[in-house]
Chains A and B, each alone.
Chain A
Amino acid sequence: MGAAAVSMRGISKSFSGVRVLDGVDFELRPGEIHALVGGNGAGKSTLMKILAGVYTLDAGTFEVGGHEVRFHSPHDARDTGVGMVFQEFSLVPTLTVAQNVFLTREARGFAGLLDDRESERRTRELFRTMEVDVDPRRSLDELPTVYWQLTEIAKALSQDARVLIMDEPTAALAKTETAQLFELMRRLKEQGIAIVYISHRMEEVFEVCDRITVLRDGRIVLTDDASKLTMQQVIDQIVGRKLEQAMEWKERHVADGAELLLEIRGLESGSRLRGIDLELRRGEILGLAGLMGSGRSELARAIFGIDAIHAGEIRVRGRQLKIRGPQDAIDAGIALIPEDRRAQGLILDHSVRDNFLLPLLGRLSRGGFVDDGKGDRLAQSFVERLTIRLRSIDQPIRLLSGGNQQKVVIAKWIGTEPQILLMDEPTAGVDIGTKGEIVDMIRAFAEAGNGVIIISSELPELLAVADRVLILREGRIERELGRREIQTEEQLHHAVQGVS
């Protein structure tokens, strides 16, 4: 077997008095893909950031390749052969792929001046060994997410990384892109590179990983070969109790004659969306599925008035509407929960209360002054109703875990009492326990006589809540599937991929 690639012993770490890791032992073998799973706040990211040199540890020791090390910066870790593909990317969007890969280690030519062509040649070579096709001269901000990850991996490999840490690498990827990434991971594994794979997606963990470690509340509760475990066992360990079958379809009654909330005919928007027709009735949850770039998010943006609509009509409760901007949509009772909660959903430095009340300020103010008492009570009642875990509503929202942040985003919009809720990837990067709670929130919202349009790359989620699923491809609606027509997740996968 040889020496472990990484061996961590008795790792402890606290942040402002809160113990996040408590005596963790973690071992990574060369040439394995090792899943690190657990709920939000379980300590996965913290443990890996210690390994990647982002955080320093309070207690414990660790070895990389048989030598004890102590990292003071990510740079130290890189030098020792540990590379991390960050959840929030560590690339410079305004530079090209090659410039990013060789940042601070650029190829030099005449008189010590930079030789970008040489960097580009080496980058192309790296991509060839990775067996992917990326143009090293492109500026990163012109490229989709999957290329950012490939660039990060190339960057780590260019520094002879023997250990790769990947934190939720598939969160923003469509199915085919995920498959490509997995193929690449398997090839890297054959070269003896050890990979730590952090993910909330159990299927993917079982598809690609050799061993699984579960963290809960800062301790390791399970480590074993993936082949000896079942998904249910792992999920039970993550949640710490038997998870109610949140992801199971629950019958809700939508009357055939229920009032039509939203009706769209022949909508065109942006350079992609063409001839979109859809209907949404009271109490109905409509799923939108499709690959990345199929126009799912663009459709939500157009309905909410962010992207201009070139043609077609939108009727809300039978009344034709001209949506020129988000304010028109909000006035019509439409709310959008955006895809990227950090960039589009929250003001991270502001308190939970201020974030929650932002869209409600108009309603809470009298003569320009905000009724603070009323605002506090409202925020508090939502925190309790949605079981958002926090110390106080005055806490800056960036201190909350991802799942709880997402709950605040949802609360913020449900608080405006919309009748039509558009949700773009509402459970991305959220742990299983919270996922279940969010799914329940969606059901409850629809049951109260409202309509929901939910966009998701996670098909189990669509299967759990959607009455109908529309499949988008290249800006058009390709198919519509009723819940009863879909027997298995496989079928839905095939429909999304456009094969049957």
Chain B
Amino acid sequence: MAERVAASLPLARARLVGAVRGFDWRQYIVYIAFALVFIYFSVTLHGSGFLTSTNLLNILRATATISIMAVAMTFVIGAAQIDLSVGATAGLASVTTAMTIQDHGMVLGIVVGILTGLVVGSVNGALVAAFAIPSFLVTLGMLGVAHGTAMWVTNTEPQPILNETYNNAFGSGDLGPVPSLVVWTLVAVVIGHVVLRKTSYGRRVLATGGNAMAARFSGVNTRLVTFLVLAAMGMTAGIAGMLYAGRLQSGRFQWGEGDELSVIAAVILGGTSLFGGRATVIGSLLGSVMIGLINNGLILAGLESSQQEIVRGAIIVVAVALARRK
């Protein structure tokens, strides 16, 4: 019987043809593009110090906040949702952390920073999950609310952080030869990867994004999943804001402004489906680092920031178009 099934279906042959014809290179486009961009810059920018370890660590450091938010965004997009408020949330958290550290010390400052993100994310998640309002609208509104709040509570003034321990732990310092920002990135990616691939929560996220109806019929609490991915996204954006604050030794409403676009671009570039159901944390990291790589290369190549933006935008569109599944 078993043999008959295999033989009677055209699938067996199709499988063979498929295996010969392809290696689905689209799936690996971000890896290929990454390698190409890296090799290109290594050759052309050899004299400008592109390949030095300082420069390479710099790239990782500069992209750390984007990479960390991209990890959480991988879950959000994997569950077929979106979060446009991440940049503004990071800005707000940088401000609340800085202000609390000034008055009440570091420990409370860290707690408040994380809570800020968690509250913003939970409000997003609750509105989307309980009232079925599209996350696009909820988080678009939240972008304004968070940004405005950060401006309001600070009177648009920067909030300096003088606590050395905080600044070193959250972005300015190093752990041995490795910048603390790179350590944060690695921790986020490892946790994200394991949770997505190896826990039932990760599986439920992908099921919800792949076919919410089927997931519900299988006993997945899709509303809870929706709430959790957005709440975790908020919290992660809060942590990213705290890293901005530590790196720049101050809290300011502008930190993180516009990051939502880089974060979403990194995730999609990495191979996560914009329609949900298929997601990769490692891909998101590579997407994020690749955007940093391009930025860095263009700066070393001496392009003006206006030209950088144009080239960066074009490269992202081309890469995503190539990565798109038929």
Contacts and interface: CB of A to CB of B under 8 A. Distances in A.
A94 B11 contact: no
B217 A86 contact: yes
Contacts of B9: 144, 146, 177, 293
Contacts of A93: 210-211, 277
Contacts of B214: 89-92
Given A95-B206, A104-B204, A113-B194, A132 B1 contact: yes
Interface of A: 54, 73-75, 78, 86, 89-95, 99, 103-104, 106, 112-114, 131-133, 143-144, 146, 155, 176-177, 180, 183, 271, 291, 293, 474
A488 B17 CA distance: 37
B143 to A, nearest CB: 29
Contacts of A144: 9, 11
Contacts of A474: 10
Interface in B86-132: none
B277 A104 contact: no
Nearest to B78: A94
A486 B207 CA distance: 48
B220 interface: yes
Interface of B: 1-3, 5-6, 8-11, 14, 17, 194, 197-200, 202-204, 206-207, 209-211, 213-220, 273, 276-278
Main secondary structure of the interface of B (DSSP, over half): helix
A145 to B, nearest CB: 11
B209 A94 contact: yes
Given A113-B194, A144-B11, A92 B6 contact: no
Nearest to B279: A94
A74 B218 CA distance: 8
Contacts, number: 90
Nearest to A52: B217
B209 A104 contact: no
Contacts of B194: 113
Contacts of B204: 103-104
Nearest to A294: B10
B298 to A, nearest CB: 35
A142 B213 CA distance: 20
A78 B219 CA distance: 9
B279 to A, nearest CB: 9
Given A92-B210, A103-B220, A113-B194, 16 more contacts: A74-B219, A78-B219, A90-B211, A90-B213, A92-B206, A93-B277, A94-B211, A94-B273, A94-B277, A113-B198, A113-B199, A132-B1, A144-B9, A144-B11, A176-B8, A474-B10
Nearest to A89: B214
B218 A90 contact: yes
Given A86-B217, A92-B207, A104-B219, A131 B2 contact: yes
Nearest to A99: B203
B315 to A, nearest CB: 27
B5 A103 contact: no
Contact of A114 (B6, B199, B219): B199
A103 B215 contact: yes
Nearest to A106: B200
Contacts of B218: 75, 90, 103-104, 155
17 contacts: A74-B216, A75-B218, A75-B219, A86-B217, A92-B207, A92-B210, A92-B215, A93-B210, A93-B277, A94-B273, A94-B278, A95-B277, A103-B218, A113-B198, A132-B2, A146-B9, A180-B5
